[in-house]
Structure 1
Amino acid sequence: MTRTPELIDVLVADATPVRRLRPPAARAACWLLFAGLVMLFVGIAHGVRVDLALKLHQPLFVIGVAAAMTTGVLAAVGAFIASVPGRSRRWLLLPAPAALVWVATIGYGCLTSWVSIGPDGMSLGETARCFATLVLVSVPLSLVMLIMLRYIARLSPGPVTMAGSLAVAAMTAVALSILHPLDATAMILLWNLGVAALFLSVSGRYGQRILVWLTRG
């Protein structure tokens, strides 16, 4: 039987250096920079809504976009801080106040024109382009967030990945508000909350499996 000192020597001899993760604030800043670049590229390709200048003079619109962006920033920061072993999970509550304001002011989006009738008959309306924007923004942000949080795969990742998903949903909502012109009331609330609920439910149900798979890869 191998004695304990010998086992320790063997483990130490075979150990490889472990690269420390960057500080949570730095990782959050990197993800937010990536999110900004994605939104910039999509905005250049799509173009902003034609009435954006007018909307920027409407306090409710400005507050809603600012609250969504703040929610995304704070959710990302909270997720990366809480992903560090030993850090309090209370950091995950960091975006809660901004999220409440965001939910209270949601009233903008593109669910009002699923189908438009033109001279050539039925055609997809603005919501088809809205859905394309949603995919182009949310998919890369979600993948990068999962990759950056993969090291918490075995440390009860559910709440952390849910906070990361909230960050993705909030930043996606910002992109939709800036790029698409159609307004709605109760229906857009269902749209944005549906996006957030989808991210949160998928991450809560499959987050650990996905993160374990990413860690193995």
Structure 2
Amino acid sequence: MHRLRPPLLRAGLWLLVAAAVIGILSLIFGIRPDCARRLREPMFLTGTAASILTGTLAALAAFMASLPDRSRLWLALPAPAAALWLCTIGYGCISNWVAIGPGSIQAGEAVRCFCTLLATGLPLTGILFWMLRHAAALRPRGVTFVASLSVAAFTASALTLFHQLDTSLMILLWNFGTAVVILGIDHAVARRVL
């Protein structure tokens, strides 16, 4: 059995992969036309920065907590950034709910958004869990949770670049649903998945 690379290095490599996936998808889907204007809005900028920070800290937490000589307190590392991000999601959901009128959301845009969610989330999930496969057996639930939080945060950040709809809540549900499935499979096969 070979030694794992240091967790900071593995987290850094995964963050580079996440940036590359988001960069490739931004070339494929294009940046939303109002992105520059929206980034000047304090709430939008705060939400985007909080989701990026949440994704970064959750990835680091997943790699740190997956090692036996590290404290499980690492799992709490992304909590403050995630709380801020969730507050901005709540604000966005309320303001978007009030603004929704007849014909303002088209089925084509929702389908395109979901396809983008899959194109972003599936490779990030696959790569992150592949990178954690040897180390995550110690704390599979906690590591899976923060890893899923990281993927959800980066997926939400990516979709804010491509889509005008606020889909952060859908992204969180999708990624945590995936985490529940992974943990269920892991439990069913006696922790052989992680």
TM-score, normalised via structure 2 length: 0.85
Matched AA of 2:121: S
Tell me the secondary structure at the aligned position of residue 192 of structure 2: helix
Q: Which moved more, 1:201-210 or 1:129-138?
A: 201-210
Superposed CA offset, 1:126-174 (max 9, x none)? 1111111100110011111111111135424111111111100110000
Matched, 1:126 2:113: no
Q: In the TM superposition, what is the alpha-carbon distance from 1:189 to its structure 2 partner?
A: 5.7
Cα shift at 1:190: 3.8
Do structure 1's residue 206 and structure 2's residue 185 form an aligned pair?
yes
Using the TM superposition, give the Cα deviation of residue 193 of structure 1 relative to its aligned residue in structure 2, in angstroms. Answer: 3.4
5+ unaligned residues in a row in structure 2: which ranges? none
Match of 1:79 among 53, 62, 68: 62
Partner of 1:10: none
1:39 matched to 2:22: yes
Q: Rg: which structure is higher? A: 1
- For 1:44-97, what per-residue CA distance to the aligned partner results, in whole angstroms no more than 9, with x for missing partners? 000011100110110000000000000000000000001111210100100000
Distance 1:152 1:134 in 2: 27
Alpha carbons 1:79, 1:161 under 8 Å: kept: yes
RMSD: 2.5
CA deviation after TM superposition for structure 1 residue 204, in Å: 3.5
Pick one of 161, 166, 171 that aligns with 1:178.
161
Judge conservation of contact 2:51–2:85 (CA < 8 Å) in 1. Answer: yes
Find the counterpart in structure 2 of residue 137 from structure 1.
120
Unaligned runs of 5+ in 1: 1-17, 117-123
Whole-Å separation in 1 of the counterparts to 2:4 and 2:125: 20
Query: CA offset at residue 114 of structure 1?
Result: 9.4
Give 3-state SS (helix, strand or coil) of 1:151's partner.
coil
TM-aligned CA distance change 1:167 to 1:19, over 3 Å: same
Aligned residues: 185
Percent identity, aligned pairs only, is 43
* 2:87 aligned to which of 104, 117, 124: 104
Alignment map for 1:28-67 (pairs within 5 Å)? 28-67=11-50
Q: CA deviation at 1:24?
A: 0.2
